């Protein structure tokens, strides 16, 4: 029993010693102690629309406060509009960069919106929520 207890106490004592070395209470005055922590960031993209046979995927980028439509074929031409719950068209314009269309949502107040995407007479209706 003593053979197992002694190494365990030494290990616990040593780990407590190391923990105490980074304690802000034990640091000299004027010295800031930083603890290394692994922080995992949540993804900033929220999927709004993705279907197996659909020619595009739609995401809401929370960091950039924009709507992102990813096209599977960069030569596709699509039109889209954003409407509020009352059906009023909102002033959201998209900029196409190769196979993605980016549309700023910063001018919209929080709420639920309907997104209508029209691609070669194929229409997709979906909703998304702005809650900043």
39 occurs within a structural domain: no
Q: Is the pLDDT of residue 98 over 80?
A: yes
Expressed in angstroms, the distance from the first to the final Cα of the chain is 59
pLDDT of residue 32: 44
CATH code for the domain of 59: 2.60.40.3080
| C-alpha neighbours within 13 Å on the C-beta side of residue 118 | 5
52 occurs within a structural domain: yes
pLDDT of residue 63: 92
Least confident of 21-35, 45-59, 84-98: 21-35
pLDDT digits (tens, 9 = 90+) for 12-32: 444 444 444 444 444 445 444
Q: What's this model's pTM, rounded to 2 decimal places?
A: 0.61
94 occurs within a structural domain: yes
30 occurs within a structural domain: no
DSSP 39: -
pLDDT of residue 43: 65
How far apart are alpha carbons 103 and 93 in whole angstroms?
A: 6
Long-range Cβ pairs for the range 73-80 (8 Å, 24+)? 73/99, 74/98, 74/99, 76/119, 76/120, 77/119, 77/120, 78/117, 78/118, 78/119, 78/120, 79/117, 79/118, 79/119, 80/115, 80/116, 80/117, 80/118
126 occurs within a structural domain: yes
Range of the domain at 116: 45-130
35 occurs within a structural domain: no
90 occurs within a structural domain: yes
Contacts of 15 (CB under 8 A, 6+ apart): none
59 occurs within a structural domain: yes
Radius of gyration of the chain (CA): 26
How far apart are alpha carbons 93 and 58 in whole angstroms?
A: 15
pLDDT of residue 77: 67
Domain count, the chain: 1
């Amino acid at each position: 029993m003593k053979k197992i207890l002694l190494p365990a106490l030494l290990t616990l004592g040593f780990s407590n010693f190391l923990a105490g070395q980074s304690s802000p209470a034990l640091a000299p005055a004027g010295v800031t102690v930083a603890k290394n922590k692994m922080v995992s960031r949540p993804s900033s993209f929220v999927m709004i629309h993705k279907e197996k046979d659909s020619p595009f995927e739609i995401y809401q980028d929370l960091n950039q406060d924009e709507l992102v439509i990813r096209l599977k074929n960069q030569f596709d031409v699509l039109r889209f509009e954003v409407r509020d719950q009352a059906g009023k068209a909102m002033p959201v314009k998209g900029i196409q960069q190769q196979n993605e269309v980016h549309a700023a949502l910063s001018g919209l107040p929080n709420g639920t919106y309907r997104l209508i995407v029209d691609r070669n007479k194929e229409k997709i209706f979906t909703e998304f929520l702005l809650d900043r």
